[in-house]
Amino acid sequence: TDFNTEWARSYQQSLSDLSFVIKNGSPAQSGAAQILTANIYQTLVDLYGDIPYSEALKGAIEDGAILTPKYDGAKSIYDDLLVKIDEALANLAKGGALGAEDLIYGGDISKWVKFGNSLKLKILVRQSNLSDPSVATKIKSLVSSASFIEAQDEMARVPFSGGAANNWNPQYGSAESGIGMFYVASKSFTTVLSKLNDSRAGVLFNP
């Protein structure tokens, strides 16, 4: 059910809402929604592999009434996400206000640009394992010309307070108020963390 819920929230709920914003929002709103859409698709490919993409979200009659969209391969999705992010950055460059509706960056367009560039870099790094010799050149070109997320306040996240009712990160709420101490570190995982001297061990798990 964990994998089912991840899919349902991302694919069925978030992507369809963002699709509405892309079609009906200002250029800046569309650009931000396009970047979030690319981020979700990239995560879904990482989690599930081949997924519906080119025919996805087209169930409405005016969109073709496609109720059983075909599955696309990871590489083709990654390739198209890079194009979509470029379109998003172009929309952000056209200006327009995001304002208080922007729960992630509070309307700061420059941070959305950094998010878009960082996501492009992440996708290209993923592609570097897919035997495409042109990826290295694309990475070098991007790194030499773009700005990226470099500070904590530039990270793409909704700042949940954690204190007020109904204001927890959903994952935290599920783990802490739902099933409590359900997640336990496996020996194989902690052994790898230990060998790598990975400082995240003390953050991921309580001793």
pLDDT of residue 20: 92
pLDDT of residue 41: 96
User: Would the pLDDT of 193 be above 90?
Assistant: yes
d(CA 102, CA 93): 17
| Burial class of residue 206 (count of CB atoms within 10 Å of its CB; 0-12, 13-18, 19+) | exposed
Q: Which of left, alpha, beta for 149 (phi over 0: left; psi -120 to 50: alpha)?
A: beta
pLDDT of residue 33: 96
pLDDT of residue 177: 66
pLDDT of residue 173: 72
pLDDT of residue 203: 85
Give the model confidence (pLDDT) of 89-127 as tens digits: 999 999 778 878 899 999 999 999 999 999 999 999 988
Give the model confidence (pLDDT) of 135-185 as tens digits: 888 999 999 999 999 999 899 998 887 666 677 877 777 666 666 666 788
Assign 55 to helix, strand or coil. coil
pLDDT of residue 96: 79
Q: Residue 90: enclosing H or E segment and its boundaries?
A: helix 74-93
Give the model confidence (pLDDT) of 67-94 as tens digits: 999 999 998 999 999 999 999 999 999 9
pLDDT: which is higher, 128 or 151: 151
**Average of pLDDT values for 38-47?**
94
pLDDT of residue 121: 95
d(CA 94, CA 34): 14
Question: Mean pLDDT across the chain, nearest whole number?
Answer: 88
201 pLDDT tier (thresholds 50, 70, 90): confident
Percent of the chain with pLDDT over 90: 57
pLDDT of residue 182: 66
User: Would the pLDDT of 130 be above 70?
Assistant: no
